[in-house]
Amino acid sequence: MKDIRIGIIGGGLMGREMASAFARWCALIDVSVRPVLTSVADLNPATLAWFDCIPSCTQKTTDYHELLANPDVDVVYVAVPHNLHEKLYLDVLAAGKDLFAEKPFGIDLPSARRILDAVKSSGRFVRCSSEMPFFPGAQRAFELARKGEIGRVLEVVSGFHHSSDLDPTKAANWKRINATCGEGGALNDLGMHSCHLPLRLGWKPTRLFAQLQKGYPQRPDGKGGVTNCDTWDNALLHTWTTIADQEVPLRLEMKRLAPGATNTWFIEILGTDGGVRFSTAEPKTLWIFERGKEQWWKRTELGFGTPFKAVTGGIFEPGFPDVIQQMWAAYLMEREGLLEGRFGCATPEEAVATHEIFAAALESQRAGTVVSL
């Protein structure tokens, strides 16, 4: 087992989630690499204190430059506000480290393109975080579509919903402000989740019409006052893509105000000979449409059929920590040239493609027209 030394810049919610995935790496049984967390950088000393529970993490610093100078770091995972992506990603590459970047890979399209240029010139291994396609149901949907088993594709819906922003008393954070989240708002925050599988299947939109919606214009600032919130909170992108020389409707949904949804990712692909539907609201369940003399939807319970095999019994259902770990296995195995046909993490090119979609959506919203990509 080869150890890969990991540094994390941004030790908050996702930084701790990644560290926890490393701590239970022994659950995976068909990988030949192992992540070892050696360093964490965060501006908040209280945040750094959580990592005291990880013996291998011997460097905890409030200056990320110290992490980048550490020879005991091979790969850097960065989870910071979007306005900091470009600066930190370029610094990671300049330090000669491989990068596991958070979405959306820069605050806007020009930033994402500059990051991609730096990736190409650096020669470093870089991927973008997107964990939801590693659910077994998502993998099955992807394979059915990739193999063309549903006939001519008639329509596709891919989306990500949550509802926590329905609460007007929820304090604003950096994701509610254009200066730190980016003008895209929910597009930047959730868009990679919606776009990853369609893009991997080659279904990039050729034109689109966007309907963007804002929620509460002000929220508590967490300090006893209120602050303005100017980001888009919901996005419906009605797009067209080309599949097998046919124009196909593709709807992309990204919502932070979706009543009843709790971090729900979903995809539905309908064709002339079949269809498939999966949602993380039912993580073990896959719906498959079959057309015969009669037409019907079949419900299948998948269990724990992840791309990288684990000690977990096949009858159990996967969850968010499991797909985070699967995503990291894909990143590290691909880095070693050992992915062997399994589903890989989002590429820098795919991340830039999402920004091209987001930029077209913003243009469509401003003009109220269909925009070509």
Q: Is residue 194 part of a domain?
A: yes
Mean model confidence pLDDT for the chain: 97
Kindly state whether residues 295 and 351 are assigned to the same domain.
yes
* CATH number of the domain to which 71 belongs: 3.40.50.720
In this structure, are residues 157 and 150 in contact, taking their beta carbons and an 8 Å threshold?
A: no
Strand ranges of the sheet holding 371-372, from the earlier edge strand across to the other edge: 295-301, 285-291, 274-279, 264-271, 153-161, 246-255, 234-243, 207-213, 371-372
- Residue that is last in its domain, among 128, 148, 173: 128
How large is the average pLDDT for residues 30-48? 97
CA distance 299 to 321: 25
How large is the average pLDDT for residues 77-86? 98
How large is the average pLDDT for residues 25-39? 97
How large is the average pLDDT for residues 65-82? 98
Instruction: Give residue 351's pLDDT.
Output: 98
Instruction: Give residue 293's pLDDT.
Output: 87
* CATH number of the domain to which 173 belongs: 3.30.360.10
Q: Is residue 22 part of a domain?
A: yes
Q: Which of 35, 368, 37 is nearest to 210 (CA)?
A: 368
Kindly state whether residues 225 and 295 are assigned to the same domain.
yes
Instruction: Give residue 77's pLDDT.
Output: 98
Residue 18 contacts by C-beta under 8 Å, 6 or more apart in sequence?
6, 8, 77, 79, 324, 328
Q: Is the pLDDT of residue 365 over 90?
A: yes
Q: Is residue 60 part of a domain?
A: yes
Q: Is the pLDDT of residue 164 over 90?
A: no
Q: Is the pLDDT of residue 30 over 90?
A: yes
- Residue that is last in its domain, among 128, 148, 167: 128
Q: Is residue 325 part of a domain?
A: no
How large is the average pLDDT for residues 342-358? 98
Kindly state whether residues 121 and 136 are assigned to the same domain.
no
Instruction: Give residue 265's pLDDT.
Output: 98
How large is the average pLDDT for residues 267-289? 97
Q: Is residue 334 part of a domain?
A: no
Q: Is residue 331 part of a domain?
A: no
Instruction: Give residue 281's pLDDT.
Output: 96
Kindly state whether residues 221 and 366 are assigned to the same domain.
yes
Q: Is the pLDDT of residue 88 over 90?
A: yes
pLDDT digits (tens, 9 = 90+) for 122-149: 999 999 999 999 999 999 999 999 999 8
Kindly state whether residues 37 and 147 are assigned to the same domain.
no
3-state SS assignment for residue 285: strand
Q: Is the pLDDT of residue 290 over 90?
A: yes
Residues counted in the chain: 373
Q: Is the pLDDT of residue 43 over 90?
A: yes
Kindly state whether residues 249 and 368 are assigned to the same domain.
yes
Kindly state whether residues 42 and 75 are assigned to the same domain.
yes
- Residue that is last in its domain, among 76, 107, 128: 128
- Residues spanned by the domain of 253: 132-308+347-372
Q: Is the pLDDT of residue 161 over 90?
A: yes
User: CA distances (Å), 167 to each of 2, 210, 263, in order?
Assistant: 46, 25, 15
Q: Is residue 341 part of a domain?
A: no
Confidence of residue 79 (pLDDT cuts 50, 70, 90): very high
Kindly state whether residues 68 and 123 are assigned to the same domain.
yes
Kindly state whether residues 105 and 205 are assigned to the same domain.
no
Q: Count of domains in the chain?
A: 2
Kindly state whether residues 189 and 103 are assigned to the same domain.
no
Kindly state whether residues 158 and 210 are assigned to the same domain.
yes
Q: Is residue 201 part of a domain?
A: yes
Q: Is the pLDDT of residue 292 over 90?
A: no
Kindly state whether residues 214 and 362 are assigned to the same domain.
yes
CA distance 122 to 313: 42
How large is the average pLDDT for residues 107-123? 98
